[in-house]
Structure 1
Amino acid sequence: MSCPSVKLNNGVEMPILGLGTWKSKPNEVTNAVETAVKEKGYRHIDCAWAYGNEKEVGEGIRRSGVPRSEIFITSKLWSMHHQCVEEALDETLANLGTDYLDLYLIHWPVPLNPNGNHPRIPTLPDGSRDVLFDWKIKDTWSQMETVLKKGKVRAIGVSNVSKRILETDILPYATVVPAVNQLEIHLYNPQHNLVNYLKSKGIVPQAYSPLGSVNSPLLSDETASEIAKKHGLQTPDVLLGYLVAKDIVTLPKSVTPARIASNYNGALAAASNLAKEDIEKLDGVAASGKQRRLIMQQWSVDLGFENWPGQTP
């Protein structure tokens, strides 16, 4: 089953389904990526420097035997690298074994101290994150535009960025509007208002952790399960297909060949079978009392999201 694509605001085509690689162990992710690309139809791989497995992801892509030009690769600028975007990108390109990315994202709109006490998440003596409060996200974005102009990336975007941060820190200064905003989007955290806002600006929403986390309550949700049964599908199919049907790029993660295949085939099958009334029912699940985030980062800063847990260190 071929995967539909969405067109970014600069004309680049991106497959609407991709393989997520967060928390995929280095000794597992190579096989997962190879299997996804070589055997299961995936042509979109989502990774990040902070995941610590870019080299293994790159090896999986090479082992697949599929030409680089046929694979859409996304990676992300980590928070300690806001002041040196091109250098960070060059490291990612070397890790992946490619000379360009299809999409490069600012992983979080929270610059961390590059000279702090940890190579990934530096902290202060009180345990809170060592945030560079005087660094401006607009300056990070300017550097992202530079690597785009140099041809090292085909598109640039953001991740975990609220409407407020877009409107105050990025869009007023941008000469290139972000192509994508990758967010925690799923049945219990649909972010309807933000998704609608992004679409109004020509920014494609992407969903990470669309099935939730380990032991996710989404997989036993009654509404999703009832709709799945009605269509002869599995509950994960509906959870993924619901997002795909709404033109949200969806990035399920797995290292199990059978699950890699079922996520891909089930999502596309569900997206083509869900009726308007099914989508409306699913749209209302979070508002019925189930709204919750399942992926937490404690930045000690207000990111401007609805239903954000606050400023806990």
Structure 2
Amino acid sequence: MDVLSDVLSVLRAGRPRSALVAWHGAWAQEFAPVPGAVGFRVVVRGSCVLVPAGAAPVRLGAGDVVLLPHGRGHVLADSPATPPAAQACDPTAADFRHRRPVVIADPAGASTVTLCGAYELAPEGHHPLLRDLPEIVHLDAHTDGHTELRAAVDMLGAELTRPRLGTDAAIPALLDMLLLYALRAWFDETRPGTGWAAALRDPAIAAALHAVHQEPAHPWTVASLAGHAGLSRAPFAKRFTELVGQPPMRYLTWWRMTTAARLLRESDAPLNVIADAVGYHSEFAFAVAFKRQYETPPGRYRRPTDRSAVAEASRER
């Protein structure tokens, strides 16, 4: 699995929540902040304005895609002057689909149709990929070079406005494609000197990251990773730290524990099997490393209530 796909498979937890909404006349809806989730808005038809808290309004047209990587609260409206409804909407709420039902067919007279929702993040989903993204990622799916993003938007619109057999299976897959293509488009348009996007563009550092993600259980050293990168040890360690934001061995340990957390969350494998899968031949050593990162033993982490506590502690940090 390539690095970006690997990261996304660990970051996301559960099914993305979404609802297609038709807006009529003068309208405005406040969306509450959603810590622990990546919000998204897609304008399927018409136009509107996104008003972030404390920032300038962002005008959106048909085909526009907006990611809110840090779960920032905002208002979506026909105009910045329209006051929002009294009750804020939370796309991660259990009743989101019921309060914002999917539109079965495009209703006549709707001025704007939007797809609203959120990708829930795993408790351990604080990857540098998200840290480096701006508060708002605004993309025009109709821009040259965004062919895949435009196709995902068009297919989503078709499935949501004209549900058929298999639609319930197609929508989550298409939402995952939307997230991937939106991140690809952002990477293609961004040329930062440091950060995760720069690391993936650097052939040497990308090679080392790929090696870590492909074989997290391998007994990697700075020297062996530098060999994959085609650099000597000191220049490699310096460049890796500057771009990724942490030294190679710290990133390796962090990724091993992140992978272990996913295995604990998604499988019933014994702890010794998970420990071996992430490079620890001693279950005790694995448990110590895991507790150091998540402040809870791996056995307790498997319980949903303990994972919730981990998520809350991570947000507070």
Same fold (TM over 0.5): no
Q: Which structure: larger Rg? A: 2
Bigger strand share? 2
TM-score (norm 1): 0.28
Bigger helix share? 2
